[in-house]
Amino acid sequence: MAAFPELAILRTELNGDALAHLERLAVSWRLLSDLSFSDLLLLAPIAHEDGHRFVILAQVRPTTGQTLYVHDLVGHVVDEVERPALARSWRHSEIFEGDASILGGKERVRLQSVPVRYRGREIAVLTREAPTTSGRRPGELERYYLEVYDRLVSMVADGTFPFAREEVEIEGAPRVGDGVIVLDGDGGMRYASPNAVSSLHRIGIHAYTSGVRLGEIGFDEAAVDTAVRGRLPVIEEVEREEASVLVRVIPLLDGWKPAGALVLLRDVTDLRRRDRMLMSKDATIREIHHRVKNNLQTIASLLRLQGRRVDSPEARTALAESERRIRSIAIVHETLSREAREFVDFGQIIKQLVRLVEESVSTGDGGLRFQVVGDAGELPGELATPLAVVLNELMQNAVDHAFPHVDEEPVGGAVQVRLRRKAGEVDVDVVDNGVGLASGFTLDASKGLGLSIVQALVTGELGGTLDVGPGDDGIGTQFHVRIPLATASATQVVEPS
């Protein structure tokens, strides 16, 4: 079935601002359905048929009552023989009420047909479909709900509802079942539903008297005043001590003049408490990563100080390498400490790793150049940490062995890191244009500590593979690392955009 706009364009003469007005109505009209305890249908005449047939563009079911239509009716065509009141509302621009057969069946329903007006002309018809009455006298809540519904559908027929500013369905916004207060034209309370009274009690307001303004019982009327003066809905949150109530104010208009307001209340105290708990948890996790990063940096500083005090060149080199490895791990924790998530943008980490390696080598004009190509996307922290150490080791390995005279700034010397994200894996290549592999070199026979660490992390912890061979056009060396994402303990890995 085509979506609302496509269906309207294909089957009717609606377009532009008139179509946008109906889309706003379809966003806002759950309020009408809940107030009337009824199913609502939105219909427009089929193009070039002079109002003899109508297509259903949208429907909404009540959350306050039982629906008559279990099946979706959007796209269904209704003719004037089935629903005479529908055609009468369209031709005479008036609200009509009566009985009709349920669409697709023989059961009788109470039908109200309301013309939808926009800028002085009819563009569609809204129908309210409800079960026939059983003679039961409606209670106070039902009477006030239906009264407010009648005022709102009068605004639909006048063209003042939905409001000019496009509304959006706000997640968690108050609905009719959450609590309703009806205000008269002077701002006095005419009715408050039991749930609304409970919400007032939650924020410490226990007095409720009909005819009294909200401000007189201690409720801030600023949102009401703003909505009534601006003739537009307003939503805000009221907090008292540890309680929170979400307030939505909808002005009721007579023509274009304010004639009261509908106030919807929702107690969101428990939701906000959970939000605060999650924020506290996120802050705690970030603080842990921050402290781990600080501790690692402290250890790296101690190793650097120790390296300055030893005389043995071998010991000094070993301490410097250990310091560099620790700093590469600290980079990941520093990134995790800035975000309240378990995933990190590995592109940001690789940039810092490159700067870390650059600190160990002269990279002036004409010297050794580093380049990052591609993107690995966002990775879970438990995968990003060992992968950062692997890349750090491979880049440093290129500096140490591919360019043995790096201090003389070899012209054209380059190290390129290539990142590729495939389905279910990350591929990483570290390619240089240096002297190439020694004759007979194999990874298994390599005795260097750096490559031993790389092999242990790639094949052991990450469950991946490590290969080495000639670089581009047979020049230099290329290390290829493949990491399956399934090895991460997190089940979801974010793909790069």
Render pLDDT for 369-428 as a digit per residue (tens, 0 to 9): 888 888 888 888 788 888 888 888 888 888 878 776 545 544 568 888 898 888 788 898
Are 483 and 387 spatial neighbours (Cβ–Cβ below 8 Å)? yes
Rounded Cα–Cα distance for residues 262 and 248 (Å)? 8
**CATH number 3.30.450.20 is the correct assignment for the domain at 176-267:** yes
Render pLDDT for 296-333 as a digit per residue (tens, 0 to 9): 788 878 887 888 888 888 888 788 878 777 877 777 77
Q: Report domain 4-138+145-158's class.
A: alpha beta
**What residues have CB less than 8 Å from 84, skipping those under 6 apart?**
none
Render pLDDT for 244-299 as a digit per residue (tens, 0 to 9): 889 999 999 998 889 999 999 998 888 777 877 766 666 766 677 677 778 878 88
3-state secondary structure of 274: helix
What residues pair up with 417 in beta bridges, in sequence order?
A: 372, 430
Rounded Cα–Cα distance for residues 102 and 113 (Å)? 14
Give the CATH H-level superfamily of domain 342-497. Histidine kinase-like ATPase, C-terminal domain (3.30.565.10)
Is the pTM for the entire model greater than 0.75?
Answer: no
How many angstroms separate the Cα of 343 from the Cα of each of 379, 380, 419, 442, 489? 5, 4, 17, 35, 12
